[in-house]
Structure 1
């Protein structure tokens, strides 16, 4: 206790005060949060093999609650809001099987309520969430197991021992793959009258109901991150565990939507990660065929080890080749005894009683998710990503006093007032810009703005260059005003909206109020966040588009307009 701060002591004490002290023979009372296929699957094993009482259910879709109750406990209580379940003092632990963007918020809320947690992978939906969940779990003292069940397969533990004992020599390359078939384009049937769509969205950008986004959320950036977090994160966690190296130094990748354009995430990818212990990991995956499923191949100087969920095989470097395949005869084959999720759930339940560290704790699970996130960023940016990124510091672009560092198109149209840049005209036949002297390539740009009375049109240019015509720039613009709030527009180049903000997100805005923009540009990947809502998540696919240029503020041609900007700052990404 001496090492706890007062705040940490209070937080830990608060969580413990809600927790029931379990004896060796006490039956664990579990709540299921997210009663879809995977959540129910895990809960079934907790009941069947661990004798858990699945006492309560929380889900936003009533048919899923009904189905889970029928299978697991017809008398269990049902909740449409997971917070109601967490507030119950008679629930010892929860299984979280929600979409990815809910994993950290639900886990943080659960441990704060004194619950032990089994949460599906990936633990995080972004790199930034990692520190949040690690700190919350450590302060709470709760047991949190993440659904990387490979760590609980006995034959995978045996593979780890073989590799760490040097059985296949020095490993320089690890090949991983996972293929599935998502070619079915039949639209999902969802009874919207029984669905809490706004609760599904959570902190994601508001938008109209979409059956694909709800039922296939893994393939939309607001809720999942495609094959890398869904599948690859399983394998990379296994590689980290076996190799004893969990933070890569570099990530490269390619990905495309070749045949499944109705999803946002790529259907075919390849990623390569480099690690400090001098080995590389590659991942290839396609969602257009299930041929060969998934697996890992560790290539060493003395042999090769193939690892899958059903088995391991060891092939010696010096051995007898099959004349047709050139694959050597295995000297060791070990089959899995049963599905690893069973032992993973039992490990979690045992740790709840012993208070020991579970097989897949939050720290290693954050590392696995980060590797997947960096792989996605490499794919979307088209850049090699140095990991972890060593970003620059936030620097002001506006000093709050004058227009030093900026170039005016029309002197007198732009001014400084009360710590704000003010753009104002009473009627113009052309657009007008206030431009930075410096150019920027990869960055995060943050600012606040207000369009007075919500009238007219303005915008924030970035990666823009001067046109030959006066009062013109061409490049990307985070648009402001009219029907364009939160949109990405290509000013004077392609002259079109590249990404439209969802209408429900714009409808809630106070058009006359202050708002915030955060624009992130990294290689080909551009995001725009308006008042905390990510309204644009765009990957540039057209060749030859400039990725470096000016930042500029715009007042649009037309009737009179007044727009204010303040707290303009930038962080360059390196």
Structure 2
């Protein structure tokens, strides 16, 4: 694989039960040879009657694991969307996802049958299909940027799970590319589509708590684990493709995801594939902090942090932590684990406070909870359903509730905190140039090298 260009199709065997790009281009001939049951070139209108696929937004799902399967099920609930392809490096998961999709749409078809969902082991083959309008990308963090960039360049609209990218460099390139190609983009920061978070931010931005002084953000952390022995790679896992741009490392189950079931995967706790909870939960809560401060298109000026890191073992992301961000105007964001700050976001001002987390909104004075935002005041973007907003924007070509540049800035806040925690010293940041002004070592941490042949 590594001798080929990263954008060339990888050949697959029949054992992997997926289609290559060459097979796709020859699909008419394949169908004539009796393979139409795998994926027909054209799905007849009679299969769905009035709900013919030509009237739908066709979607390809890249990554159908723990989170990806949930997003796939959610997408199937929208009548305006039709999943026509699934992709994963774990062929067991791909087979399961394809079966779910075809069973779901078979129940809606007039003849009780639907075979219109293809299965792939390589995202490039899925992205190459001209009949796919949008992709849902729900992969490990080190596999966010490359599929999203490929999709944008191929003219697809994109839903990408948070955090946006593994590095700040990747985020800048992705944001620029999405806008260059005019794609509709939404990141999975679904808290923006929950009314309590929007209400909290509107109260703050309309001055209901006076001058904003401090924002306190809290969320949990992951425990470490001990050393793990190398294990044989399962037949159903394309481990080389799973590693992709990350450094080579011996396979062990807790490095990747459970061999059986859809439990929480080990890669979430390994720095080569993600930054830990600072981007896991941080991408949600720091995004709301940014929204409430009105800093969605900028970032902090100074960052200092500290954290506990495991001394050995496979899982090496941060444990207990504390980060202080300083924004223009002197507003402080204090982001810590839940031993110091409670779960959620607390906005503190000169005349009161607003606290918000999932399913809960509180304030002091209590009268703020019934304070209406007037017609001449600031009303934030309203979305009552995150995925519905994505599909509505695909049709209207409007910007989504969680667009790519906002996602990049929120993810950057988290990654800046990670760099500060690693270095253990105060850093000064230029949010316009997206460079540290006082630390060359920190600037080197804005990007990570990719293993050949992968590149941005």
TM-score by length of 2: 0.72
Aligned to 1:421: none
Aligned to 1:320: none
1:26 CA displacement = 2.5
Task: Tell me the secondary structure at the aligned position of residue 354 of structure 2.
Answer: strand
Residue 282 to residue 208, structure 1, CA distance change in 2 (3 Å): same
Query: 1:142-157, aligned counterparts within 5 Å?
Result: 142-157=183-198
Aligned to 1:53: 82
Aligned to 1:296: 345
Match for residue 241 of structure 2 among 183, 193, 199: 199
1:68 CA displacement = 2.1
Query: 1:296-315, aligned counterparts within 5 Å?
Result: 296-315=345-364
Residue 27 to residue 205, structure 1, CA distance change in 2 (3 Å): same
Task: Tell me the secondary structure at the aligned position of residue 72 of structure 1.
Answer: helix
TM-score by length of 1: 0.58
Residue 533 to residue 391, structure 1, CA distance change in 2 (3 Å): farther
Aligned to 2:302: 250
Partner Cα separation in structure 2 for residue 109 and residue 527 of structure 1 = 19
1:259 CA displacement = 9.3
Aligned to 2:278: 228
Partner Cα separation in structure 1 for residue 75 and residue 361 of structure 2 = 27
Partner Cα separation in structure 1 for residue 81 and residue 232 of structure 2 = 31
Residue 176 to residue 35, structure 1, CA distance change in 2 (3 Å): same
Query: 1:340-489, aligned counterparts within 5 Å?
Result: 343-388=385-430, 390=435, 443=440
Partner Cα separation in structure 2 for residue 358 and residue 284 of structure 1 = 29
Residue 342 to residue 38, structure 1, CA distance change in 2 (3 Å): farther
2:215 aligned with 1:174: yes
2:152 aligned with 1:100: no
Partner Cα separation in structure 2 for residue 298 and residue 370 of structure 1 = 20
Residue 139 to residue 331, structure 1, CA distance change in 2 (3 Å): closer
Residue 187 to residue 273, structure 1, CA distance change in 2 (3 Å): same
Residue 97 to residue 300, structure 1, CA distance change in 2 (3 Å): same
Identify, as 1 or 2, the structure richer in helix. 2
Does structure 1 conserve the Cα–Cα contact (< 8 Å) formed by 2:185 and 2:404? yes
Does structure 1 conserve the Cα–Cα contact (< 8 Å) formed by 2:166 and 2:275? yes
Partner Cα separation in structure 2 for residue 525 and residue 350 of structure 1 = 37
**Long gaps (5+) in structure 2:** 1-51, 104-114, 258-265, 372-381
Residue 283 to residue 79, structure 1, CA distance change in 2 (3 Å): same
Aligned to 1:405: none
Task: Tell me the secondary structure at the aligned position of residue 247 of structure 2.
Answer: coil
1:130 CA displacement = 2.4
Residue 230 to residue 363, structure 1, CA distance change in 2 (3 Å): same
**Long gaps (5+) in structure 1:** 1-22, 317-328, 335-339, 393-440, 444-520, 535-574
Aligned to 1:43: 72
Aligned length: 368
Match for residue 64 of structure 1 among 79, 93, 103: 93
Runs of 4+ that moved beyond 4 A: 180-191, 258-261, 389-392, 521-534
Does structure 2 conserve the Cα–Cα contact (< 8 Å) formed by 1:313 and 1:330? no
Aligned to 2:158: 117
1:257 CA displacement = 2.9
Residue 385 to residue 295, structure 1, CA distance change in 2 (3 Å): same
Does structure 1 conserve the Cα–Cα contact (< 8 Å) formed by 2:141 and 2:165? yes
Compute the RMSD of aligned alpha carbons.
3.6
Partner Cα separation in structure 2 for residue 366 and residue 359 of structure 1 = 14
Residue 219 to residue 93, structure 1, CA distance change in 2 (3 Å): same
Match for residue 32 of structure 1 among 52, 56, 61: 61
Does structure 2 conserve the Cα–Cα contact (< 8 Å) formed by 1:177 and 1:285? yes
Residue 156 to residue 527, structure 1, CA distance change in 2 (3 Å): closer
Give the number of the structure with larger relative contact order, counting CA–CA contacts within 8 Å between residues 6 or more apart. 2
- The CA deviation string for residues 354-373 of structure 1, in whole angstroms up to 9 with x for no partner, is 00011111111111111111
